[in-house]
Structure 1
Amino acid sequence: MPPPRTRGKALRHRLAELRGSGVAAKALDARALAALAANPGCRRRALLDGAGVDKTALAGALGAPSAFGQSQFALTRGNAFEARVKTDGGAELLRLVHQRLDPGAEPPGRAGVPDLTAVGPEGRTARTALALREATGAGAWTLLDHPMLALEVAGSPVFLEPDAVVVHPDGTWTVVEIKSFPMLDGSADPAKVGTAARQAAVYVLALEDVAARLGQDGTAAPRVRHRVLLVCPKDFSNLPTASAVDVRKQRAVTARQLARLTRVQDIADALPEGTCFSPELPAEELTAAVEAVPATYAPECLAACELAFHCRARSRARGAVTALGRAARAELGGLATVDDVLAAAHGEAGDPDDPAVAALRRAARLRTEALSGLPEAEPHHPREAACP
């Protein structure tokens, strides 16, 4: 077996071939990683994200462009709000952390803000780890602005950049998520808060990896807090307010789902030789390449994946029951297509002892009985009805 460094080099070369000649890799962020963890059975997304394929460009080349993603206006507004929150060395941000998460600690004064610049993501990751080590034993407040963290996903490293990480005087670490959606009367849209919590859980996992490595020298590993700080505009103003969000549940689910992901190397090895996902390829060749990787479509993908429209069209064309949602798919057991479901309901196929088949036949029988009791509809003539 080749050494790890050789295997890693071979994998990077293979993933570069999948992207296409001269196509730069698209970085996988926490938002995409959280969505990937929510659908770990989708090998297509695992491979495309692991290879750094630009799924937006790929969807457009396939003829199924998606509107998924943030608008330029939302990005500009979010960047402006984040800059406001971090002005004056992050004084307001640290005040919110102290107020919401650690009121018993000494109030933050002039906190340390270490320089995290370095060459490349690997260099920034190492610089972040060093800054965390130094800040943990300083006994003071420290703000890490856009640190770089690494997390291994499906056998490949993913580099993540949270908005901020705060080191408390007691040496514990807190993830800070800054969002531009408002908090009205102290609460925000639950769906948006849930999405932010899943992103923050990814950062917590990555920080725990850093803490575990720092604890390998015989000292106690630093503790990563499972309550993160969500900072949003207050009401309809541009003033920041914050709420503590417990992400233990999201962290446990994300860790379990990421562990289930098939290694990217295994998925790539199963593809035909010469497979490539470059958007410059002819549509027929590109479609064949995408279809060579199994996908697990569900309606939830429409809010989380750029290829959702393409996968939905293919799923509907096959009559797959996954297009009806994960709940329906789970209830139907081994019945994988709509034709299978209808045949089982009408008694034309299926094992009558199968609970799903039995339930379908009972539902079909009840429907027939209900419709047979309805009076025959009278003919309706719209033109006659319109006349006096």
Structure 2
Amino acid sequence: MPPPRTRGTALRQRLADLRGPEVPAKALDARALAALAANPGCDRRALLDGAGVDKTALASALGSPSAFGQSQFALTRGNAFEAKVKADGGAELLRLVREKLDPRAEPPTAAHVPDLAAYGPEGRTARTALALREATEAAKTDGTWTLLDHPMLALDVAGSPAFLEPDAVVVHPAGGWTVVEIKSFPMLDGSADPAKVGAAARQAAVYVLALEAVAARLDPAPPVHHRVLLVCPKDFSNQPTASAVDVRKQRAVTRRQLDRLTRIEDIADTLPEGTCFSPELSADRLTEAVEAVPATYAPECLAACELAFHCRARSRAAGAVTTLGRPARAELGGLATVEDVLAAARGEAGDPDDPAVAALRRAARLRSEALTGADALGAPCP
């Protein structure tokens, strides 16, 4: 077996070959990682994300462009609000952290904001780890608050490192670490849209996992708080307000799903020689390459993956029941296509002792009786 360094070099070269000559890798962010963990059975997304393939460009080259992503207006509004929250050395942000998460700590009079600049994601990751260690030591020595603005964290995903950039990480005077998520959707009367809060919690849980990996390398390991701070505009103003969100459940689910992901090199080893996902290739060659990697499509992919329109079209063409949604797929057991479902309902196929088959035949019988009764009611009187 080759040494780890050799294996790592070979894997990086293989992933570069999959992207195409001189095609830069697209960074895997926490939003994509949370979506990947929500669909761990999709080898296609795992491989493309792990290889750093630009799925937006790939979808356009396949002829199925996606409108997935934030609008430019939303990005601009979010950046402006984040700058307001972090103004004056993060004084308002630290006030909210103390108020919501650490009220017994001394009020932050002046926070330390270290410079995290370095060359490349690996350099920034190392600089962030050093800053976290120094901030933890300073907190224990003189109770200093530290604000890390856009630190860089690394998390192993299916054998490949994903570099993540949370909005902020705060080191408390007692030495604990807290993730801060800054969003531009409003909190109305102290509460926000549950769906948006849930998405933010799943994203923050990814950052918590990455922070735990950094903390594990320190002795003693500082506590990584599972209550993160969600900062949003208050009501219809641009004034920041915050809420503490417990992400222990999301963290456990994400950790379990990431552990189930097939390792990227195992997926890559199953591909034909010369497989490449460069958007410069013809649509036919790209389609052949994409179809060589198994996908697990579900309607939820439309809100989370740039290739969703392509995968939906192929799923519909194959008559896959996953097009109907995961709950329907789970209820149908071993019946994988709509044709199989209809044949089982008509009594032409399937094991009668299979609960799914028995339920389909009963449903078909009830439907036939209902239609027969409707026809009789509509018949003219003799």
TM bucket normalised to smaller: over 0.9
The TM-score normalised by the length of structure 1 is 0.95
Q: SS of the residue aligned with 1:157? A: strand
Deviation per CA, 1:164-192, whole angstroms, max 9, x where unpaired? 00000110000000001111111111111
Cα distance in 2 between the residues matched to 1:99 and 1:377: 69
Q: SS of the residue aligned with 1:237? A: coil
* Residue 150 of structure 1 pairs with residue 162 of structure 2: no
After superposition, residues 183-222 of structure 1 pair within 5 angstroms as 183-215=187-219, 220-222=220-222
After superposition, residues 1-388 of structure 1 pair within 5 angstroms as 1-139=1-139, 140-215=144-219, 220-375=220-375
Cα distance in 2 between the residues matched to 1:338 and 1:310: 19
Q: Which moved more, 1:369-378 or 1:179-188?
A: 369-378
Give the paired residue count: 375
CA shift, 1:367, in A, is: 1.0
CA shift, 1:137, in A, is: 2.1
Q: SS of the residue aligned with 2:138? A: coil
Letter matched to residue 86 of structure 1: K
User: 1:377/1:15 Cα in 2 relative to 1: closer, same or farther (>3 Å)?
Assistant: farther
Q: SS of the residue aligned with 1:373? A: helix
Deviation per CA, 1:354-388, whole angstroms, max 9, x where unpaired? 01101111111111111111145879xxxxxxxxx
Cα distance in 1 between the residues matched to 2:45 and 2:166: 22
Where structure 1 has 5 or more consecutive residues not aligned to the other structure, the ranges are 380-388
The TM-score normalised by the length of structure 2 is 0.97
Letter matched to residue 59 of structure 1: A
Q: SS of the residue aligned with 1:306? A: coil
Letter matched to residue 189 of structure 2: D
Cα distance in 1 between the residues matched to 2:243 and 2:374: 55
Deviation per CA, 1:197-235, whole angstroms, max 9, x where unpaired? 0000000000000000113xxxx2100000000001111
Cα distance in 2 between the residues matched to 1:227 and 1:13: 39
Cα distance in 1 between the residues matched to 2:66 and 2:377: 43
Q: SS of the residue aligned with 2:242? A: strand
Cα distance in 1 between the residues matched to 2:22 and 2:71: 27
Deviation per CA, 1:298-328, whole angstroms, max 9, x where unpaired? 0000000000000000000000000000000
Letter matched to residue 298 of structure 2: A
Where structure 2 has 5 or more consecutive residues not aligned to the other structure, the ranges are none
CA shift, 1:136, in A, is: 0.9
TM-align CA RMSD = 1.0
CA shift, 1:119, in A, is: 1.2
Q: SS of the residue aligned with 1:137? A: helix
Percent identity, aligned pairs only?
85
Cα distance in 2 between the residues matched to 1:311 and 1:117: 39
Letter matched to residue 200 of structure 1: A
